[in-house]
Amino acid sequence: MTPRKGVTSDRKQSRAKAKSASPRPSVPTGRGRTVTEPRPKGATTPGREVLPQMIAVLKKTYPGATCALTHADPLQLLVATILSAQCTDARVNMVTPGLFRKFPTAADFARADLETLAGEIRSTGFFMNKARSILGCCRQLVDRHGGQVPADLDALVALPGVGRKTANVVLGTAFGIAAGVVVDTHVKRLSGRLGLSVETDPEKIEADLMAIVPREDWIAFSHLLILHGRARCDARKPDCAGCEIGALCPKILDRA
């Protein structure tokens, strides 16, 4: 059927007005790029309305929440975070004391033999890839940063094996710099269950969280969700009955 005159142009004008009326904010990602805050695709984010109450309850439940990776300086935290990929923090904390005694500086890591280093971290899984990342990372630290870990997002994500999550961990925990929100497997899962984001891509989830979580809480927020994910909101069997924020949670389990 032939459309009535003017219908097509009216639709185009409506779409154009809608786009200009609701610009989507962007946040920096490092490497000079930005992530545009995603608009919900036919879904709501009910947890946003009660987020301040959630944060308040979580702070009372987990006072002094901080990074679980044992470290004494930014370099140790950087290496430990690289090792924590697809590995529990508890396992990493079993490996790193001996590792850091053998390789106390970035220069020591940079001079390490690949096979020897891989053997030291074997129990953390994906040990060859992690060993290559640590070697490459520490060699660049020595060559470009005087052996020191830079307190800068762009400089960190330019290092081998360092993505935005690792950079945020180091900046937030080692330097107290709120450059973003750490999105690990726990934060990703709880962001969906709590109705804070409908996205599945970590960078898009982070953009959503940065838009609704007060900046002064960016560092603590990820620690709170990680601890709560371990204590209550398990991937397979969430303890909804015992959950401290159960009365506020929309319990969106089908997207977790």
The pTM of this model reads 0.81
pLDDT for residue 42: 38
Give one word for 125, left, alpha or beta, with left for phi > 0 and alpha for psi -120 to 50: left
254 is catalytic: no
Which of 173, 184, 217 has its CA nearest to residue 58? 217
Give the type of residue at 133.
Answer: S
Residue 145 is encoded by which pair of tokens?
């940063």
- Write the secondary structure of 119-152 as one string of H (helix), E (strand) and C (coil): HHCHHHCCHHHHHHHHHHHHHHHHHHHCCCCCCC
Whether 35 and 164 have beta carbons less than 8 Å apart is answered as no
| Beta-carbon contacts of residue 46 (< 8 Å; ≥ 6 apart) | 195, 250
pLDDT for residue 253: 73
184 is catalytic: yes
Phi, psi torsion values for 34, nearest 5 degrees = -130, 155
The residue from 184, 188, 208, 217 that is catalytic is: 184
Centroid of chain to Cα 162 = 12
pLDDT in tens, the chain (256 residues): 444 444 444 444 444 444 443 344 455 545 444 444 444 443 457 889 999 999 999 999 999 999 999 999 999 999 999 999 999 999 999 999 999 999 999 999 999 999 999 999 999 999 999 999 999 999 999 999 999 999 999 999 999 999 999 999 999 999 999 999 999 999 999 999 999 999 999 999 999 999 999 999 999 999 999 999 999 999 999 999 999 999 999 988 754 4
The residue from 130, 165, 208, 217 that is catalytic is: 165
Q: Which domains does the chain have, with CATH numbers?
A: 48-65+181-255 (1.10.1670.10), 74-174 (1.10.340.30)
